[in-house]
Amino acid sequence: MAKELPKSLDQVETKTVECDLLIVGGGNAGCFAAYEAKQVNPDLNVVIMEKANIKRSGACAAGMDALNTYIPTWDGKTPEDLVRWSREQVGGGPIREDLALSNAQELNQCVEELEEWGLPIIYDEDEEHPHYRGSWDISIHGEQLKPIMAEKAMDSAEVYNRIVATALIMDGERCAGAMGFGVRDGKFYVFKAKATIVSTGGACGIYKSYTSDGTASHHQTWMCPFNVGTGYAMGLRKGAEFTSMEQRWVAARTKDYCGPVDTVSVGYKAKMMNAKGEYFLNERYAHLGGDKAPRYIRANAPMEEWREGRGPTYVDSTHLDEEQCKNMLTDYLNERPSFVLYLAANGIDPTEQPVEVYGSDPYIVGGHTGSGYWVDMERMTTVPGLFAAGETAGGNPNKFVGGCAAEGKLATRGAIKFIEANGDVNIDESQVEAEKARVFKPLFRGKDFDGLTPEEIKERLQRLMDEYAGGTSQFYRCNEEQLDYALKHIKLLQEQSGEYITASDLHELMHAHEVFDRIDVAEIVCHHLKGRKETRWSGWQTRSDYPERDDENFNCFVETRKNPETGEIEVFTRPYERIVD
């Protein structure tokens, strides 16, 4: 933390960094983007702008117990098979099959590189092939997954840790880098770049967690809690096009802890069960695949049991013997060690007592669902010079670790082609001064200013989205009138946060900008939910006033684009092109 806070804008030092390629966000995709840049062109000047510390940042910060996509080619499986599976997971589409296929063709190499770098992958007893716990996911000892990735990134790029990104820099219509501030040193940073990749991760904390009333954190997420949608927000303010933001990620989680359920349900064949002892997926969703139904079905089904009066709901782990239970807890130690402590603290023996599950609050994560920037095959957004990878690139769900890594590489190759074709950038310094003033404004309002804290604004946003835009308390349902109410009050929050939000130190200033970003992302999520007047992915996207699926009008992508001058948001559609039979 800075030893002494600046008293005025004149005391804030501006530091300018010039580079060829800027990567905003040093998570999974960002690390592979940097690594690929050095493989393609070792002379390239690459910089990573990271809000946390790259050694433990992003969605993989705490580790993983599996890699969810690795194609068993020795078993005759192909990249096209993975695309078909991904399409089934979203009910038959729409998905960007062109993007999904290019990712699938790349991801095995990324997983194999992780193993070469030191990631322990668990093999079957014959030690010939990795151990699969489902159709596509392999087991790993992944507690060190992120440090392993980060080491390669640090060898490939200059990393600026603890820098909060706040805005893109523009050279006319072209992206020319990004700006932000140091949460530890209080400096204003200007990263001038010939091409920029946004790989910041998704957005958590937009919706209220059902546990918020019992904690002061206002969050309960298994995703990285400092992923707040900044990558989306910076682009939408510059008029970038977004796709499928209504396809929110909701997952069945262990209740009151938000731990992963697939570890026990997929890895150890534990079936979901309601309070009546019914295995409801097999009984009521057999026509959709039962226990192997698409993820959005498995996420929403427990909540439907609660809504129909058959809760609580569980994963029935009582079939596990002592050795299997020990192995399951070991898996949790690789990804969620505190869950093992949670079970112990609450006296829960999974061999005797089923593990209770409940639905999570909705997240916007393009590595899991299709939400994010609309990109071309080079992963360039509709803003020239701005590329997206991982959670921020949309239309291509079920990427997970391997797919996000592949997309980081693909975005880098596209960015290098762009640099070679377009050369240097020139920036108008007035935009730098304007952004610097905007960034530090909450810090200089004065101690007597009667304003609002970031926490107060965030709490209002989370309740608004929960109650009017399909949160957990509404069993993920919303209608036209609720969304209109949400949008009206989001406008008020945008006005009030700009005028009244205050920050007492640099850490709170970071929270202020996280709230600004969350509000802007929430706005386009509501427009997307309004735009899709059907119910296509129950739970992820449920319209109570349009409860049926409407293939005639909505087997397509819902898109938005914000006019940077007027603030108006245009909603339109793009056709779904099926290229894999």
Write the DSSP string, 141-195.
Answer: EETTHHHHHHHHHHHHSEEE-SEEEEEEEEETTEEEEEEEEETTT--EEEEEEEE
Q: Are residues 26 and 151 in the same domain?
A: yes
Q: Are residues 343 and 398 in the same domain?
A: no
User: Is 184 within a domain?
Assistant: yes
Strand, coil or helix: 433: helix
Please give the residue range of the domain that contains residue 281.
Answer: 252-359
The residue among 315, 344, 359 that closes a domain is 359
Q: What is the pLDDT of residues 550-564, one digit of tens each?
A: 999 999 999 999 999
Encoded tokens for 295 = 């993820």
Q: Are residues 169 and 194 in the same domain?
A: yes
Q: Are residues 435 and 412 in the same domain?
A: no
How far apart, in whole angstroms, are the C-alpha atoms of residue 288 and residue 5? Answer: 58
Q: List the CATH number of the domain containing 117.
A: 3.50.50.60
Q: What is the pLDDT of residues 314-359, one digit of tens each?
A: 999 999 999 988 888 888 887 777 888 888 888 889 999 998 999 9
Active site residues: 295
Q: Are residues 57 and 170 in the same domain?
A: yes
Q: Are residues 441 and 499 in the same domain?
A: yes
How far apart, in whole angstroms, are the C-alpha atoms of residue 336 and residue 409? Answer: 28
Q: Are residues 371 and 440 in the same domain?
A: no
How far apart, in whole angstroms, are the C-alpha atoms of residue 445 and residue 419? Answer: 41
pLDDT at 291: 87
* Run of H or E including 107: helix 97-117
How far apart, in whole angstroms, are the C-alpha atoms of residue 507 and residue 183? Answer: 6
User: Is 225 within a domain?
Assistant: no
User: Is 244 within a domain?
Assistant: no
pLDDT at 4: 77
pLDDT at 214: 62
How far apart, in whole angstroms, are the C-alpha atoms of residue 459 and residue 305? Answer: 28
Q: What is the total count of domains within the chain?
A: 3
15 contacts: CB under 8 Å, gap ≥ 6: 187, 188, 189, 190
How far apart, in whole angstroms, are the C-alpha atoms of residue 139 and residue 547? Answer: 38
155 contacts: CB under 8 Å, gap ≥ 6: 35, 38
Residue burial 282-297, b: 16+ Cβ < 10 Å; e: rest:
eebbeeeebbebbbbb
Q: Are residues 441 and 410 in the same domain?
A: no
Q: List the CATH number of the domain containing 330.
A: 3.90.700.10
Q: What is the pLDDT of residues 418-463, one digit of tens each?
A: 999 999 999 999 999 999 999 999 999 988 899 999 999 999 999 9
Q: Are residues 500 and 444 in the same domain?
A: yes
Q: How many CB atoms lie within 10 A of CB 404?
A: 33
pLDDT at 217: 67
pLDDT at 332: 81
User: Is 282 within a domain?
Assistant: yes
The residue among 408, 426, 444 that closes a domain is 426
pLDDT at 150: 98
Mutual angle of helices 97-117 and 145-156, in 10-degree steps: 90
Q: Are residues 292 and 435 in the same domain?
A: no
* Run of H or E including 105: helix 97-117
* Residue stretches of the chain with pLDDT short of 70: 1-3, 213-217
173 contacts: CB under 8 Å, gap ≥ 6: 383, 384
The β-bridge relationship of strands 252-254 and 355-359 is antiparallel
Q: Are residues 140 and 84 in the same domain?
A: yes
Structural contact between residues 168 and 386, judged by C-beta atoms closer than 8 angstroms: yes
363 backbone dihedrals φ, ψ, rounded to 5°: -120, 160
Q: Are residues 436 and 406 in the same domain?
A: no
The residue among 306, 326, 359 that closes a domain is 359
pLDDT at 215: 64
pLDDT at 45: 98
Which contacts qualify for 305-309: CB closer than 8 Å, 24 or more apart?
A: 305/274, 305/275, 305/280, 306/358, 306/475, 307/475
